[in-house]
Amino acid sequence: MELTSSLLLRKLTWSFATYDDGVDFVTQNHDLTLCCRVFCLLAWFTVIIIPISSGSFDSFPPIMPAVYPPPPPISYPYGKVDCYGISRLESGKAVFKSNWDPNEQFALNGTDALVIAELPNLQYRAVGLKCDPDPGLLETGYRCPLTYFVTSANMDYIPNFGRDSTTVRLRLDGRFGTHDLMLWPQWYFEATRYLPYVLKKPCPDKLVNHEYRLAWYELRPEDFELEPGTVSDIGMISLDLRRQVLALRSKLYEMIRSYLQDKSLSENDAEVRDLLHCNLQQRYACIALESCPQTYLNTLITFTSFQRHFLEALACLDYYTKWKELELRASCGVELPLDTSIIGCVTADLSVAQKFFEMGVPYWLVRPISAYSRYLHIVNPVELEKPEMELRIRDEIDVVWDGAPSAPRNRACQTLRIGCINVGHSAFDRHPGAASSASQHGSYSSQDIVSWAEEPPRPQLSSPARLDHSLSSSLLKSSSSPSIPLFGVPYVLRQRVKIGRQINVEKFKEPVSPNAPEASPFWTFALKSVNPDWRLVWDHRNQSLLRGYPVLDPGVLTTSSVRSDVYFLAWLLFRSTCLSRTLEPGMRLHTATTRRGMPKPGPQEWREFLWQLGKAYSLRSDDGHQRPAKKAKIVDDVATTFDFPMPGGSIVKSIHWQGSKLISSASILGGERALDRRTHQQIVWDLYDHNFRLELLALDCCIFPRELMPESVVGMWDEMVLGVFPGQKVISIELPSRDEGLGSKSWRARLPHVEAFQSLLSWWPGEEAAILKKMPVGTTEQYVMEVEKLAYPFYCRTFFEYFGRAPCTPHSLPQ
């Protein structure tokens, strides 16, 4: 018989007397036990009291040997009726009986049972869930059950929570089985109070037209397209799927921005930090899906991570815009309908169960079997429903979390990011918004953090000044009014280097080469304005990381050499692999600059690597010379940096660029190597562009160390850095369709990025930063030029002082 709680709630004429679920089992013995105790009392009175009162012991009966009942059979451990009054089968399974009479009228409350089932095999003890002690054999010779039972007063089924293990593991579908917040109701904790409101996957007939259907889409191998011409098995999801991801991300962004503006909230408000954190994480996953080729497994992990963060951010937004008000209305006695579109939660707290019952939120209440009461209203005893999801484990991914349910475990499936292997107990990361002390990081001390001029301004939330139709603008916008610094103050260095080094002064000049794209005169002037004196370089721990180049040094391809053709083609083979493995596995955006703490390859190291790669892929013939051990080690080190196993044999692959085949494998065997001049310039432009993006990010991470920031602030600061780049990406596998960014010929195309660059640099230490902070934002060519004259030299000089070499600067896109 299927009943809904709404039918029962309308019958409000009378109710059973209230009861205490925690009543001791001694007071709940059935009539048979009571009769036995009365019989024993009468026997005691007859045998002991009567002889004593008569003064004679001669009539005392002889002592008989004790008679012990036989041990209960293993398959019948609790008796037909256990010590709590629950009927049992021979297997020991509880048989609950409905006490609901359709002719009688009563109202359920949150601790009653529209459905009820025993939970015999819960694999952990959740926080707040009592565990019955084992008293051993009872007087009846049977054992006391130590199981749990589950009830719900507003749902018509009970998931089998006994299938929920303590270990959080990645499953074959890229999700986390019963630990995945989008698939299975999680245990309720205040730190993740918004998880009950995660949207549940609709039934198939409704999913087809659902506005968020992509959030439950099952990624298939046929959705994965291998990158043409790459030397690794990497690729991206289909273009149509990428567009859908971008549209969903943009829709959520607009919803969050509207809410924050309507409520006049900022990033400093603690109540919305979870919301902003989830939004940033789904945005980062979207950026990776849009622009970064990965293996299929990493793409699958990134795609499902985007889905989880999207649904979690949406649940946060629904909590603030809908459920907080409904909670208030329910507390005032307003009757609310059940919302079956959300996933609900599990709890052991009676008050939480009652609250969600009144709010119309799906819930399941778990209690020890000793809390069962015969006064419990039972409508439908049901069987536990097994999880209908992929539970087979991906063995190549280690355990993400191991432990009983908790708020950190609820977030555990969100800690696995791109290619994260052996992450261990990564769910112990600080909760978004939790401040971290500088003293927790051995590399920095409070004395090293020196303020400059005046405190940085506090960002305010406002509509983006310019939102391109293809971009999703940041939620951040700088304000000129000083307030409490949100990001702290810059890490100001104190000592210069004491040992001299060789500075390549030619790098401060634009190369004269037919392969070089057109340079901006402002950037050309900025490079020439730097004084390349090694004594001006700061001494700091990350100094060596960018002595080399994050991606190939453009100078390798602009310098005239007989090997240039091989370098160009080898780089096209390796480009996707290099870009896809720039981000540190499982880490945040800023680790793109410090992968494994290994220094980036320098120009000569890149040359040796590409020359050897050319041999492996039949781009050149074997010269017959044995490589010196030093050069062999250089090649091995570069390959290790990018997790790339150098092939031992000779492989032939076609050469592709921007989705088009430039040279076929047959032409490679025929000796064709040449590319046209426009392609040469596009390739070199791409090297300048990616190096600039990664170098700016690296420099900013030195000035504002991310490990000194709370996680939520790291995300907001990275948003500010990304605002400088077209597309707000640190990596882009595809060239833009038009000339834009800080190297564009058009001042209008440079304007939004110059404004973002000014905003970022105004937080840095230095006199120029203070001037940039005071400069009013404009919309004219004069404004753009004034900022460029000051900001570009300031950036180039600061970069040299931190890394001891010239930076790569933006150039105009070859047409």
SS3 annotation, 404-456: CCCHHHHHHCCCCCCCCCCCCCHHHCCCCCCCCCHHHCCCCCHHHECCCCCCC
Answer yes or no: are the C-beta atoms of 555 and 511 closer than 8 Å. Answer: yes
Q: Profile the chain (815 residues) by mean pLDDT over runs of 10 residues.
A: 40 34 37 41 37 36 43 66 92 92 82 96 90 88 92 97 92 94 94 95 94 96 90 90 94 92 79 82 84 88 93 95 94 94 97 97 97 94 94 89 88 56 24 31 33 33 32 38 44 81 92 94 96 90 78 94 93 90 52 57 92 91 78 87 83 90 91 92 96 92 81 76 89 90 95 96 93 93 96 96 94 93
Strand partners, 158: 384
The three-state secondary structure class of 496 is: strand
pLDDT of residue 77: 81
Determine how many CB atoms are found less than 10 A away from the CB of residue 118: 24
pLDDT of residue 215: 96
Between helix 767-774 and helix 747-761 the angle, nearest 10°, is 120
Tokens 């009652």 belong to which residue? 354
- Measured CA to CA, the distance from residue 353 to residue 363 in angstroms comes to 7
Answer yes or no: are the C-beta atoms of 365 and 185 closer than 8 Å. Answer: no
- Measured CA to CA, the distance from residue 699 to residue 718 in angstroms comes to 12
- Measured CA to CA, the distance from residue 161 to residue 474 in angstroms comes to 41
Which whole-number Å values give the CA distances from 670 to 411, 570, 574, 667, in the listed order?
Answer: 55, 17, 21, 5
- Residues sharing a CB contact under 8 Å with residue 340, sequence separation 6 or more, in sequence order: 200, 362
Between helix 350-359 and helix 324-331 the angle, nearest 10°, is 100
The three-state secondary structure class of 363 is: strand
Answer yes or no: are the C-beta atoms of 260 and 272 closer than 8 Å. Answer: yes
Spatial CA neighbour of 501 closest among 529, 528, 536, 526: 536
Answer yes or no: are the C-beta atoms of 312 and 277 closer than 8 Å. Answer: no
pLDDT of residue 712: 63
C-alpha triplet 687, 693, 697: angle, nearest 5°: 140
* CA quadruple 209, 212, 214, 218: dihedral sign: negative
Return the half-sphere exposure (C-beta side, CA atoms, 13 A cut-off) of residue 244: 17
What digits encode the pLDDT tens for the residues 354-405?
999 999 999 999 999 999 999 999 999 999 999 999 999 998 888 888 989 9
Q: What is the largest CA-CA distance in the chain?
A: 128
The three-state secondary structure class of 573 is: helix
Amino acid at 624: G
Backbone angles phi, psi at 144, to 5 degrees: -90, 125
pLDDT of residue 372: 96
- Reported as type and span, the H/E element at residue 182 is none
Determine how many CB atoms are found less than 10 A away from the CB of residue 770: 14
- Measured CA to CA, the distance from residue 417 to residue 813 in angstroms comes to 33
* CA quadruple 776, 777, 778, 782: dihedral sign: positive
Answer yes or no: are the C-beta atoms of 655 and 670 closer than 8 Å. Answer: no
Kindly give the pairing relationship between strand 660-663 and strand 224-226.
unpaired
Tokens 């991606």 belong to which residue? 551
pLDDT of residue 641: 82
Between helix 629-641 and helix 603-616 the angle, nearest 10°, is 90
Q: Which two tokens stand for residue 686?
A: 């791409």
Answer yes or no: are the C-beta atoms of 568 and 607 closer than 8 Å. Answer: no
- Measured CA to CA, the distance from residue 650 to residue 614 in angstroms comes to 10
Q: Which two tokens stand for residue 257?
A: 């921005």
- Measured CA to CA, the distance from residue 341 to residue 122 in angstroms comes to 27
Determine how many CB atoms are found less than 10 A away from the CB of residue 567: 23
User: Model pTM greater than 0.85?
Assistant: no
Q: Which two tokens stand for residue 531?
A: 């004084």
Answer yes or no: are the C-beta atoms of 680 and 569 closer than 8 Å. Answer: no
Backbone angles phi, psi at 789, to 5 degrees: -60, -30
Spatial CA neighbour of 368 closest among 150, 161, 148: 148
Tokens 């090997």 belong to which residue? 563
Euclidean distance between the first and the last CA atom of the chain, given in angstroms as a whole number = 72
- Measured CA to CA, the distance from residue 486 to residue 713 in angstroms comes to 8
Q: Which string of DSSP letters, residue by residue, matches 228-291?
A: TT-SSS-EEE-HHHHHHHHHHHHHHHHHHHHHHHHTT--TT-GGGHHHHHHHHHHHHHHHHHHH
What digits encode the pLDDT tens for the residues 633-674?
888 888 888 888 888 878 899 999 988 999 998 998 888 988
Spatial CA neighbour of 696 closest among 715, 723, 716: 723
pLDDT of residue 74: 52
Answer yes or no: are the C-beta atoms of 739 and 815 closer than 8 Å. Answer: yes
Q: Which two tokens stand for residue 798?
A: 């600061």
- Measured CA to CA, the distance from residue 435 to residue 418 in angstroms comes to 25
